[in-house]
Amino acid sequence: MCGIAGFLSPDFFNEHGRAEVIVSAMRDSIRYRGPDDAGSWVDEDAHVALGHRRLSILDLSPAGHQPMVSADGRLVIAYNGEIYNHAELRAELIAGGYQPRSTSDTEVILEYFARHGITATLARLHGMFAIALWDRETRELTLIRDRLGIKPLYWSLQGRLFSFASELKALRNHPGFRPRLNRDAVATFLRHGYITGPHSIYQDTFKLEPGTLLRYRSGGTVLVERYWDLADAVATGTAARGAFQDRGLEELHSLLLDSVSRHMVADVPLGALLSGGIDSTLVTALMQASSSRPVKTFTIGFNEAGFDEAPYARDIARHLGTEHHELYVDTAHAQEIIPRLTEWYDEPFSDSSQIPTYLVSEMTRRHVTVVLSGDGGDELFTGYTRYVDGARLWRRATVLPAFARRGLSRALLATPEALWDRLFGLVPRKWRPSQAGYKVHKVARSFDRSGPDDMYIQMLSHWQAPDAMVNGGHEPKGVLWDRSLISRIPDFIDRMQYIDTVTYLPDDILTKVDRASMAVSLEARVPLLDHRVVEYAWRLPQEIKLRNGRGKLALRQILAQYVPPPLTERPKMGFGVPIDIWLRNGLRDWAETLLDRRHLQSQGLLDSAVVHQRWDAHQAGENWAYPLWNVLMLQDWLQRYPCDDD
């Protein structure tokens, strides 16, 4: 895993060596992404500079140094990621007469680009990657991001300066970059807790979307094209579902085994994040089945009821025979890292599971350099409870006329969350949902919507009317509002999965894991997001994935071959922390400083009256933790990274 950065502009090469200094500062601002080596490549005549920070995983020798120049001298690459089928591609190159200079996957893809071109090479790559490729002959820069958006890549065009990097702080370290606040992005952040692609917190600065590549020549226009589209995989997969009814699980099992074994290739120690849930347990079980030694597994626990999965992970690790490592989080330690979150996440980001994700990464890095996780299973195999709840609730809600739905919504909301928590406390612990009151209220707010897709927007929203909250902000309306999906993806559960896979997965889940792991120089791999697994999952009939209100049925059936179901069968807990409690206790002073009424009013960005109304309600016992965490992460980010606001 690595970090890349660079720029293309005629304005910063007027003094010999200046571009080298600039690109070195850009790349070194993200040193933690690659502490083992650093490199830069500058062409003064072409006005281009590439920078690279290296975390050595494959071929630890200097032969893997980047930026790397192709054997024919035409192409230069700066690359972040791992290619899991590089051995096959290397064999093809050797068969064609090429003699490799290293065992790195970087050299393989670079020479494959040189011999077969960009389009043909991308069709062959299995892995995660963010690539900057400079063609010295055409003087064209190509940026490429992997199919699912596992690795990040930002780009910016401001005047004659085109710049790119793995993280935004590297762009800020270019003297020509102007950090102008994007108020529209603030609005979408308040709704989701993350900024949806292709937007970023800065104007004229964007995320390169998953499955796309960008071409740019100095003084020209930016051309973005898609080389892989999940919509195509959905259309092809759903059309073929009937043919996969009988053999689906057996083929899926083989494919998952192959993906996990490929993701285990490394020249450094590796392990697995084991939360005790279906996805991480399956990945761990497949790793152990592919290994002759006990796999190193890592989990963290919390003392607060409803947040602790560590005992489940411990039992699973004992059954599988892994070398298990466990850390119970001290609340003070967890709260100590909060002021550093904006430094690591680089733009406003408020998924509070960023905290345990960092903590487990911090512990894991003491033992290994590479770790596998189970991310992606929820989106692919209907794991989120909102898929089941959303479809069921809409079916039941439509039995009632609109006025009755509104009445039921008001009745459910009139019962305090704390009372709902007590009522659900009567349910056996094994089947008791966490944060029951919060979830009941969230569902209740969905009842008065005009259709299931509007209801889903509400279910995903932290703030319901972000435009009203952000002065001068106009929320970009992306795929979540695209009603053409109703005809293209008729099944409501399929639509929810698709939407999450192109938004929530890359912009929240994968961003969270990338920043938390990279902050401690840990490479995180996600074998469930091998694009072959993704495409195959869409071919499986929905009843193989979801039945009688239980999601991930296919994964559960495969997992039962390795782990007894009683060890994993329990309600989905999630990977969270008790932010609602902390905001009333240990974090209250910190939060009240950030939410100072006079500061918010003078800042002129948010509706301070509504913010304080929610804050007071939260202190009185209601749960407004998620919306408030959005505002707090935004304010903390603005303090750390001041912006021009025009």
With tokens 């792991």, the residue in question is 517
The Cα 5–Cα 167 span in angstroms is 8
Alpha-carbon span 145 to 471, nearest angstrom: 33
N-term to C-term CA, the chain? 37
Strand order in the sheet with 205-207: 37-43, 48-54, 2-8, 161-165, 154-158, 205-207
CA angle 312, 317, 321 (to 5 degrees): 155
Please give the Cα distance from 209 to 226 (Å, whole number): 9
- In SS3 terms, 231-280 reads as HHHHHHHHHCHHHHCCCHHHHHHHHHHHHHHHHCCCCCCEEEECCCCHHH
Please give the angle made by the CA atoms of 42, 138 and 27, to the nearest 5 degrees: 30
Active site residues: 2
DSSP for residue 287: H
Nearest to 491 by CA among 418, 556, 424, 542: 542
Residues 86, 197, 48: CA angle, nearest 5 degrees: 60
The set of residues, in sequence order, having a beta carbon less than 8 Å from that of 404 and lying 6+ positions away, is none
Residue given tokens 């989990």 in the structure block:
299
CA–CA gap between residue 78 and residue 172 (Å, rounded): 19
